[in-house]
Amino acid sequence: MSIRRFSAVALTAVVVGISLVGCSADSAEQASCDASLSGDLSESVSASGTVGDSVTDTSFPTPMVTEQTQATVLEQGDGDALSDSSAWSIAYTLYAGTSTEAVESVGYPDSTSSTSAVTIEPSAYADSWPGLATALSCGHVGDRIAIVMGTVDNADFLESSGLGSDSSPVMIVDVVDGFGTRAEGSSQSVASVFPTVTLATDGQPGISTPEGTAPEDTTIGVLIKGDGETVAAEDTVVVQYSGWLWSDGTQFSTSWGSGQFLEAAQDSVIDGFWKAVEGQTVGSQVIVIVPAKDGYGDTESSSIPANSTLIFVIDILTVR
């Protein structure tokens, strides 16, 4: 179930299945990791353009064939180190390995597939793409990394993606952002009208069964106050969320455990959801009770009956 304004289907953002395994932020270990993964083929890749903005003039010998993944940092970023408890936004250009003509480009202003960077939670994709996991394991925000995919360590992915195993696909990956997967800040008290929220060890929220009469207007409470930037009306925010029916506490949607995040903007989600997000700070967790007039109104939406009051708990992770 989506909380998008114009859609009643499940949240099914197209996301590349990637596992990124973190390592120490220490600069010496960073250099060691890069050296151990780099090989003749990945070192032969070159590309121009600004990280996060464009990839041009890509060059490498063809065909590329290696059994095990190779990776070389083409441009070193100065941002935070990637870790296995974080999420990442990446832009990338993919080549078949038999030609320097791009198969797909994602996350750049002139991208052929999508101009939005791919936002992923690595732990949910631990088995999807182990070669790429290794390649990015010691990355930093701001890195541009040339990756030559091994035909052995990526065999399952190459077969399922249709790329084939006769050659090694090449990726130019830009790490454009890194952030936590849950709200982090100071705990706050909320009014008694809200159900009790409990958190699992990974931060996933649950609620007690709502009691009493639901408020007539959208009602917002801050559970955790983050210290990041304030969400403005024109922003796009990346969030984790779960949603329940006020009537019986049934959960109808969640991003937790999917490896995907919701990218929300004012014109892309129901009014009550955006009212809960705008004006809050990054790192915050909010709870909101949304009456039907700010939700789906008198329209039934999949598992949400018509005229339903909804409850959301939203972790605000970053602003785009």
Say how far apart CA 3 and CA 10 lie, in whole Å: 9
Say how far apart CA 314 and CA 164 lie, in whole Å: 40
- Domains, the chain, in order of start with CATH, read 25-180 (3.10.50.40), 186-319 (3.10.50.40)
> Does 2 or 203 have the greater pLDDT score?
203
DSSP string, 123-173: GGGTTT-HHHHHHTTT-BTT-EEEEE--TTTTHHHHHHHT--SSS--EEEE
Tell me the whole-structure pTM to 2 decimals.
0.75
Mean pLDDT of 138-154: 90
- Identify the pLDDT of residue 6: 31
Parallel/antiparallel/unpaired status of strands 170-180 and 86-95: antiparallel
**What is the per-residue pLDDT across 23-43, written as a single tens digit (0 to 9) for each?**
333 333 333 344 568 899 999
- Identify the pLDDT of residue 96: 92
**What is the per-residue pLDDT across 46-97, written as a single tens digit (0 to 9) for each?**
999 999 999 999 999 999 999 998 999 999 999 888 765 578 888 999 999 9
Mean pLDDT of 174-186: 92
Do the beta carbons of residue 309 and residue 270 sit within 8 Å? no
> What's the mean per-residue pLDDT of the chain?
85
Residues 6+ apart with CB under 8 A from 197: 205, 206, 207, 223, 287, 313
Q: What percent of the chain has pLDDT over 90?
A: 64
DSSP string, 254-281: E-TTTT--EEEETTTB-HHHHHHHTTPB
> Does 127 or 231 have the greater pLDDT score?
231
Helix ranges (DSSP H) in the chain: 27-37, 40-43, 130-135, 155-161, 271-277
